[in-house]
């Protein structure tokens, strides 16, 4: 249940703050790219296009935490 609450809060934040959303999307895209090394750049862009919604949903809490950590370091 705690994970669901974190995900819901993170998704709400991403829907309300476009700067954060863009940063988090890039963060998750780069993270996913590093996990999909077997795909060419063209294949990866196609993969990202179709899987982005589920990746953004599943990774929202992690990405928002990374975004907030980045802001504390700067």
Q: Across the 74 residues of the chain, what is the mean pLDDT of every consecutive 10-residue run?
A: 68 87 96 96 97 92 91 60
Can you give the pTM of this predicted structure?
A: 0.84
Domain count, the chain: 1
Q: How far apart are the first and last CA of the chain?
A: 32
Q: Which domain holds residue 45?
A: 2-73
Q: Give the percent of the chain with pLDDT over 90.
A: 65
């Amino acid at each position: 249940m705690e994970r669901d609450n974190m995900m819901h809060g993170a998704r709400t934040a991403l829907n309300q703050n476009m700067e954060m959303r863009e940063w988090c999307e890039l963060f998750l895209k780069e993270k996913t790219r590093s996990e999909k090394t077997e795909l060419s750049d063209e294949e990866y862009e196609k993969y990202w296009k179709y899987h982005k919604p589920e990746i953004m949903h599943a990774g929202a809490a992690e990405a928002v935490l990374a975004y907030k950590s980045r802001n504390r370091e700067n």
